[in-house]
Structure 1
Amino acid sequence: MKVIIWIIIIALIVSLVSTIWPLFLILAILFVAWKLYETYYYKSPAFIAVKQRIDTYINDCNELNRHIESLKDTTLISNRTDYGDASYKDSSHWDYKRKHLQGQKYATNVHNCSRTVCDNARKKPFEYVCKYFGIKATEETLANYESILNNFEAAEDGKISIQTEKKKILDSIQNDVPILIKKFSSKKLEKKLGFEEVDMSTAYFPKYIFKYISSGGNASTECDVIMDIDNLNRFILFLSEKIKFNKSVAGQRALMTSKLRQRIKERDGFICKQCGASVQQEPNLLLEIDHIIPVSKGGLTTEDNLQTLCWRCNRKKGNKIN
């Protein structure tokens, strides 16, 4: 009986393979033909001509992309005392059970604490960030967080600008690219044209972490205070209220919030105060807010010390007084 069943199974497999095999062969031939066509097109004079025609625009787009990435590269402030490094080893035979201890982190943005502190940090995140990460409500601290917010807002604006500009460039060559390449090779087309990859994620927003791990290492809770645009705006207002309470001069000045950034752009007519470029001429132009006298040189966030610059002029200016 078993022999008969095996004979039937083998017969079915042979029948199925003989039916599917021609389909596999056809698909393989089509795949090879497509790869040959794709390779030929990207080496063809027609493609090279298209690439050369838009090369300047692509380089400008890539420059903007690199500028956006540099704006994202901002670290959070933490004034915690540095007590040095040490090596610790648990040599107990049951150490293997302590799964949460194996992934325990020690970093400037991580505070290992009790469960109570972790729970309370969720209810009053800004209070606990200041307390446990050594952040004092001073003019200098406020200026630093305003600078972080300004960079992150420009980066978020820039992501939209670069995507729109990229689409505009690709739309301009739609009639010059074969339909099959547009439909089945769009990502490769962008790469072959020279576009650098644009990161549209928000993973770069830094965070303060409160982490509790039980002594046995088998239970843990974590509270993450992510400093995204919304939280940075609110944290700046939180710090300013503390400073006002301390009767600091900085409490009386303007705060570099999203509203103020927009107000300065509107005041300057959405025009770069240095080169005169405007969103009217370049609809996808990235405009940034610059401190005329940099914060590092004593400049305050006051409306008369702020100006609108395009990203190119702002990058050239750097930390100079202009």
Structure 2
Amino acid sequence: MHPILFVLALAGVLIANPMIWKYRKNKYFNGEEFQGLRAQIAAVVAEHNEVVNYVAEIRGQGAFELGASSTGQYAHLANFENTSNWNYQRDRNVAEYAPHVHNASLQVVRNASMDPIKYLMKYFEIKANQETLVDAQRVAEDISRLEEAVANVQRREAEIVRMIDPPAFILQRYADEFWSLVGVRLSPITVPYPKYKFQYVSAGGNSGQTVNIDLNTPTLDALSETLVQKIRWAKSAAGQRALMTARLRGWIKDRDRHTCQNPACGVSVTVEPNLLLEVDHIVPVSKGGLSEPDNLQTLCWRCNRTKGARMPA
């Protein structure tokens, strides 16, 4: 064998050898550089883990359901069987029955793709009344808070990786051990967007079309604005909370220079680039507060969690 080919083959064997990778991993984790960096970022890791716990609180306490379709609600009481003796391929499209699935005509499915809010309200029993508006806003607020908190955790984890800057093979092969040794508690939580589906399946099952609608922040903002227009209760508590859109939240944070407005705190993204900020009603909506700029303030997640629905002192 040619010497160069021999060297390349030997290198390939060594690289593929798990003992080599384990040796390199142990050398890195036990090295002074890694141990020193781990000690330096202990406070950053502790802050990250607190936010992870906060994410779990939002997920556990939040409401993430709104509306349901009545089609097929009793389908579980019957057994379906295809007794035809020909062309079994026609079963490849089968209707699905679930609270968030509406089986409809092809025209309804196509219309839903053009006007999702209208058809979502019509076929998933989302009625234009104050109770629905309250429910929609509760879901919108919980999803918005969870979206921002999950994104914040992800930014913090990226920052920790940047600060330690481990060799690529560590994250590729030993990511779990890396995070464990650093002390980071990874969050498995994602945003549980309510998902709604309009579904058409032809009689023979040969064709089918679906329209999927996720109740994410833009969709919920549009739904809330539509509800307010329909019920015309902009002066009610529900109507005022409905005016809280992602656009308004962003404007309030910009106005407050992304700084916590609690005088006893005052932390800002200038000091903590990965700071999790939330928009709070100074006088809570439940106590008559309005979603107007003068009644809205930016708080860090700690101060907002502590304040809750209490009136200002």
Instruction: Pick the TM interval, shorter chain.
Output: 0.7 to 0.9
1:25 matched to 2:15? The reply is no
The equivalent of 1:302 in structure 2 is: 291
SS at match of 2:93: helix
Return the index of the structure with the highest Cα Rg.
1
Q: 1:213 to 1:263 in 2, by over 3 A?
A: same
Deviation at 1:196, TM superposition (A): 4.1
1:112 matched to 2:96? The reply is no
The equivalent of 2:66 in structure 1 is: 77
* 2:144–2:217 contact (8 Å) kept in structure 1: yes
Deviation at 1:27, TM superposition (A): 2.0
Q: Distance in 2 between matches of 1:260 and 1:211?
A: 34
Letter in 2 for 1:138: N
Taking structure 2 as the reference length, the TM-score comes to: 0.75
The equivalent of 1:92 in structure 2 is: 83
Q: Distance in 1 between matches of 2:97 and 2:281?
A: 35
* 2:197–2:210 contact (8 Å) kept in structure 1: yes
1:217 matched to 2:210? The reply is no
1:125 to 116, 131, 135: 116
The equivalent of 2:247 in structure 1 is: 259
Letter in 1 for 2:10: L
1:206 to 194, 219, 236: 194
Deviation at 1:118, TM superposition (A): 1.1
Q: 1:107 to 1:240 in 2, by over 3 A?
A: same
Q: Distance in 2 between matches of 1:267 and 1:22?
A: 63
Deviation per residue, 1:126-156 (Å, 9 max, x gap): 1111111111122332233233333333344
Letter in 1 for 2:104: C
Deviation per residue, 1:47-82 (Å, 9 max, x gap): 344323323321321332453465466523015569
Deviation at 1:265, TM superposition (A): 3.1
The equivalent of 2:135 in structure 1 is: 144
Q: Distance in 2 between matches of 1:23 and 1:283?
A: 46
Taking structure 1 as the reference length, the TM-score comes to: 0.73
The equivalent of 2:27 in structure 1 is: 40
The equivalent of 1:195 in structure 2 is: 184
Q: 1:190 to 1:91 in 2, by over 3 A?
A: same
Deviation per residue, 1:302-321 (Å, 9 max, x gap): 33654432222334455666
Q: Distance in 2 between matches of 1:143 and 1:291?
A: 16
How many residues are matched? 295
Letter in 2 for 1:33: I
**RMSD of aligned C-alpha atoms?**
3.7
The equivalent of 1:282 in structure 2 is: 272
1:232 to 220, 223, 232: 220
Q: Distance in 1 between matches of 2:198 and 2:140?
A: 22
